[in-house]
Amino acid sequence: MASNSPRRRELLATLGYKFDIVPSRFEERAEGLSARETALAFARGKAHEVFSRYPGHIVLGADTVVALEGEIFGKPADDEDAKRMLSKLSGKTHSVFTGVCVLSPKGTRECVAETRVEFFPLGEELIARYIASGLPADKAGAYGIQDGFPLVKAVEGSYSNVVGLPVEEVGAILSALGGEKC
């Protein structure tokens, strides 16, 4: 897996495949792309960078972005950026896109999963407590649905996609490309 994300590692492990973690050195830069296109472009970049070093293996690259009204939220730069993102998401419904690219000697498979997430209206105190916890720092949109804070009112689509990896789609892709089970 071309990711250092502990959440993706946990989700991939639930599928029962053998895998190693090989963080990608791909630099995430995209301008003029939609959220869906950005997630897939970053997933492709990560997968291709690692596959260039391990060409005989199956390599999974994934990237998650949050989008609200055409604005793309990646990981927050700092606490102020996290506060800005959470304040914008408060009381609204947004999309979470995870791009997946799997490269193998048998071929390439790609997909983008979209999940709609509705936030509760978030008060300043809740936002401040959540940011102080340090949990938003490494997450797209500055939140983790699994973090235990009362942020999310409703989810339409894949919960695991919001965490960072659409396990339903990834399982089907790995099975088709001959991934080895534990």
Task: Indicate the domain borders of the chain.
Answer: 6-176
pLDDT at 182 over 70: no
Amino acid at 148: G
Active-site residue identified among 20, 63, 79, 81: 63
Render 64-130 in DSSP notation, one character per residue: EEEEETTEEE-S-SSHHHHHHHHHHHTTSEEEEEEEEEEEETTEEEEEEEEEEEEEPP--HHHHHHH
Q: Quickly state the pLDDT bin for 144 (edges 50, 70, 90).
A: very high
Residue 4 has pLDDT above 90, yes or no: no
The predicted pLDDT at position 11 comes to 96
Q: Which CATH architecture has domain 6-176?
A: Alpha-Beta Complex (3.90)
pLDDT digit string (tens) for 21-60? 999 999 988 789 999 999 999 999 999 999 999 999 999 9
Mean pLDDT of the residues in the chain: 95
| pLDDT at 143 (0 to 100) | 98
Rounded to whole angstroms, what are the CA distances from 75 to 121, 164, 179? Answer: 21, 12, 30
Active site residue 147: no
C-alpha closest to that of 112 among 166, 32, 53:
166
pTM value? 0.95
In tens, the pLDDT along 104-143 reads 999 999 999 999 999 999 999 999 999 999 999 999 999 9
